[in-house]
Structure 1
Amino acid sequence: MPHSYTKKNGSSFKPDPSRFLFNVDTLYYSCLPKNYDQVMNDWLLQELSEGRELAEKFTESKRTISLKLPKYENELLFEIEGKGKTAYSYQIRNQDFAFYFARRSDNDNYPIFVHINQFKLWQLGVIEAYMESLEIIALLGFVIETCKPSRIDLCCHTDQFQFTITDLQKHFKTPPNTKKNGLWGVDFDSLSFETVAFGNRSNYQIRIYNKSSELMVKQKYHFLQVYEEYGLTNNVWNIEFELSRKFLKNIEVNGEKNFFDDMDNLLSEKGLSILWTELTTNKFKMLKSKEKADSPLLPLWKVLASGNKGKNGKSVFFQTNEYMSRVKEIDDSLPRELKQITGRYKKFAKNEPIPEGVEPLNFAMTRYYKMILEEHPELIKKFAEEVKKEQSLYVDQDINKLIKKEPQTTPNS
């Protein structure tokens, strides 16, 4: 048994439910407005076409669309991107959302495709993040008729079990004919692994992997603030279900077909609870012995399956979890910049006499700013404009309220 279990009665082990973090980790959906072609013809198509052309010719110069959401003090920006590798003709995005647009409406496909950033889902919870994305679509002028899910990933992060190949062999039960389509990072001496996946991504798939290892490789340091707050160790695992629209459409709820082929149903309290129960009790499970039909669930999986019940009986996925903070994420990233930035300042100190009693770094920073003012004052204004733009690309109240409405003047202006 893993050392991170909490003991009960001095002998058996029991997982600590407070160290299971549930959330929607990925969300893609498509949207059908009633007036799509009208909005595109009135203004948006020309704006997107000109912006796409600019982005494809000059990769560092992008046109933006500004929107004013009532809950934010200042306007938000969305950059118009090049076409990229997508079936949609146009796209706009910022740090939290991406919206893709067809040139015109199509009877076979919904013309708007939406991706909500992972950080936004962990920051607001899926309900508020989804509602915010709908508000953005409405501000563009669209009247929304209906929305359908394309993909949703449900996950749980925990340090209460350290998975091994033996666990998979003895305890992990999958639906009939479900293939294991990957096992990575295997250590045959300890029988440990980093990632395992079962199922087909075009339908549904479960991935179990060492999240702590992934964070270091992909530099997703923002999760560390969450683990620290909730008391998780540096050996966290993620049990994650990736669900396609094909899978969602085939689940009946009380005899109702296509129940989950509708975003309102999918993200309802009932929908999320039923979906998690289906995944953790009917599709996949860890049993004391997977060879016995009546074998009970392992304690870990009991807690995992209880994710359909949170505060006040609501699914934990239905709640606003507020796991993450954008401001704290940026603050936490600054120490990693210090060495690189400090190294660049050396050039401003090594070829000039430093006055007695003046600290070299302070001298270098002062000389740098003085040279900017004297030789390139336009960079001062450009810096202020770029800071404002980057702040406006975050759909975040704490960052949005920091935006200066008027650029600050320089000593020489």
Structure 2
Amino acid sequence: MTDTKILSGIDSLYYFCESNQNYDDLYLEVLDQLENQRGKFLKKDIAFENKDLIITINDTPLIFLGVAEGFHWFKDMNDNFKIGFKDKFKNRSLNDIRVQLLAFSIYTIGIKSIIEFINNILLKDYITSYFPITRADLNVFIQSDLSFITKEMFVTRKRKYATISEIGSANTTETIYIGKEPFKLRIYNKTLELKKSSKKDLMNEYFLNNDFDITKPIFNIEFELHRTHLKQFNISTIEDLFLNAENLFKQSMEDIRLVDISNITEKDIQNNTKNRAETLPIWNYIKENYKIDSFLQNQLPLERVKRNILVYSEQKFEIEYIGIIRKAYINNLPLTDDYLKDLYYKAKDTLTKKTTITQLKKDYILVDFIDENKNEKEEFRLLNNGDLIKPIRPNKIVSNLNDYELLVYLDKTETRKNLSKIDESIHYVAHKEALKRGLIKNYKGEELI
């Protein structure tokens, strides 16, 4: 058993941040940003979801999740944490800021590093140094098949923790729940869970980095400890938890024991008088080898954490891309598939050659086209894709323009319509054609020339 691999850690952490005198400014700013975001959609009568509303606090973008338990909840772009803000004048028995750390940050950035980022960068101007803990999940991953365990094999010291349920097939156990809030134990087959989890790649990388064999069974033993239970051990803050996590985990394994029922009678099992049974060696092994030091030492420098929080990912790209397209529609910018495709290739070109802003604006070269028969010279534009086109002129026949060209032309005539009567007439013709095609709205009270 001495070669059985285990990984000790803290699988989840929830805590409060005590707000300072500046917090009211932050909360009002959060509400203002949300209202501004909503207003952009409502003004144009465009449907939107919570995730479309993105605010920024100290240069960190946060996606709106909704309102629950009086808190406005957000998460960062890369699912490192969730954070909630409430009105300081409501439910004064609770702190104003609530934080939940998520698996991605815990197993990549490190639990101490992500806490330092939230407290010292994201919220630095709005909180004190007091961080009361509300829930912690202490856990051990073990490279061992624990599917032989049944609910009858557990002994609990306290009657109120005796709620036990079991999930699995007739031959193997997949999950066991023991106890209820504020003190619960979960044991489950992590390998099976990851098969249907979005965290599969993340956790497999974590296991491989710690010499686990992901082709063999991995189980998770996890104690869910809430604030009222933690207070019994004088654990009130994050720092208290880190200092006492090992003793707390070991005490939890004493409060709920996995015992050998082979040497006790069926009557003992039925009457729940199994205390005389000996603890199974695997349980004692896990208890004695729970060490939190290496887990807490998994830290990144704060500046690197900040870069990681803002790191670009496929998910972040999708969110931003959809947001940009929606913003374009809200502001009546003309979009076509060809136009977006053209922008895509422009962006790719910038990866292989140095392109200035001026070059991006002028994606053509001027060429002179000479008609020898008429002895005339006309100026054309040679596009990057090889197309040769005539520039749009003020006397352009607007009915021959496609929708995108018409809207671009209309925008240009808009800026010139007050320069002269001719420019005013040119704009009128373009505006009338755009109305005819339904490309723009004729707002009530607006009259054409």
Q: How far apart, CA to CA, are the structure 2 residues paired with 1:275 and 1:113?
A: 23
Match of 1:286 among 251, 258, 261: 258
Q: Does 1:164 align with 2:148?
A: yes
Q: How far apart, CA to CA, are the structure 1 residues paired with 2:299 and 2:281?
A: 24
Q: Does 1:117 align with 2:107?
A: no
SS of alignment partner, residue 8 of structure 2: strand
Match of 1:243 among 225, 239, 248: 225
The residue that corresponds to 2:10 in the other structure is 24
Q: How far apart, CA to CA, are the structure 2 residues paired with 1:245 and 1:266?
A: 11
1:262–1:375 distance in 2 versus 1, CA, 3 Å? closer
Residue 55 of structure 1 contacts residue 81 of structure 1 at CA under 8 Å; is this kept in 2?
no
TM-score of the superposed pair, with normalisation by structure 2:
0.58
Match of 1:91 among 56, 62, 74: 74
Residue 149 of structure 1 contacts residue 245 of structure 1 at CA under 8 Å; is this kept in 2?
yes
Q: Percent identity?
A: 19
Q: How far apart, CA to CA, are the structure 1 residues paired with 2:139 and 2:221?
A: 6
| 1:183 shift after superposition | 1.3
SS of alignment partner, residue 199 of structure 2: coil
SS of alignment partner, residue 146 of structure 2: coil
Q: Does 1:377 align with 2:364?
A: no
The residue that corresponds to 2:405 in the other structure is none
- Residue type matched to 1:245 in 2? R
Residue 55 of structure 1 contacts residue 82 of structure 1 at CA under 8 Å; is this kept in 2?
no
Match of 2:165 among 166, 172, 182: 182
Residue 27 of structure 2 contacts residue 86 of structure 2 at CA under 8 Å; is this kept in 1?
no
Q: How far apart, CA to CA, are the structure 2 residues paired with 1:278 and 1:206?
A: 13
| 1:79 shift after superposition | 2.5
1:33–1:278 distance in 2 versus 1, CA, 3 Å? same
Residue 142 of structure 2 contacts residue 219 of structure 2 at CA under 8 Å; is this kept in 1?
yes
Q: Does 1:216 align with 2:216?
A: no
The residue that corresponds to 2:48 in the other structure is 58
TM-score of the superposed pair, with normalisation by structure 1:
0.63
SS of alignment partner, residue 33 of structure 1: coil
Deviations 1:227-274 (A, max 9, x none): 33313243111111111112112x23xxxxxx2122221222xx1122
- Residue type matched to 2:193 in 1? E
1:22–1:151 distance in 2 versus 1, CA, 3 Å? same
- Residue type matched to 2:342 in 1? P
1:276–1:51 distance in 2 versus 1, CA, 3 Å? farther
The residue that corresponds to 1:9 in the other structure is none
The answer to which structure, 1 or 2, has the higher relative contact order (CA under 8 A, 6+ apart) is 1
Stretches of structure 1 lacking an aligned partner (at least 5 in a row)? 1-13, 68-74, 253-258, 335-370, 385-405
1:55–1:383 distance in 2 versus 1, CA, 3 Å? farther
1:194–1:92 distance in 2 versus 1, CA, 3 Å? closer
The residue that corresponds to 1:102 in the other structure is 86
| 1:49 shift after superposition | 4.2
1:308–1:231 distance in 2 versus 1, CA, 3 Å? closer
1:294–1:309 distance in 2 versus 1, CA, 3 Å? farther
| 1:26 shift after superposition | 0.9
| 1:215 shift after superposition | 0.5
Deviations 1:154-175 (A, max 9, x none): 111112242324x543x43222
Residue 41 of structure 2 contacts residue 48 of structure 2 at CA under 8 Å; is this kept in 1?
yes
Residue 24 of structure 2 contacts residue 88 of structure 2 at CA under 8 Å; is this kept in 1?
no
1:227–1:82 distance in 2 versus 1, CA, 3 Å? closer
The residue that corresponds to 2:245 in the other structure is 272
Match of 1:226 among 198, 201, 206: 206
Residue 29 of structure 1 contacts residue 115 of structure 1 at CA under 8 Å; is this kept in 2?
yes
Q: How far apart, CA to CA, are the structure 2 residues paired with 1:294 and 1:184?
A: 26
Deviations 1:296-347 (A, max 9, x none): 543321221124446xxx4x5543289xx999xx9xx99xxxxxxxxxxxxx
1:236–1:308 distance in 2 versus 1, CA, 3 Å? closer
Q: Does 1:146 align with 2:152?
A: no
The residue that corresponds to 2:182 in the other structure is 203
Q: How far apart, CA to CA, are the structure 1 residues paired with 2:282 and 2:127?
A: 45
Greater C-alpha radius of gyration = 2
Residue 52 of structure 1 contacts residue 82 of structure 1 at CA under 8 Å; is this kept in 2?
no
1:83–1:319 distance in 2 versus 1, CA, 3 Å? same
RMSD of aligned residue pairs (Cα, Å): 4.0
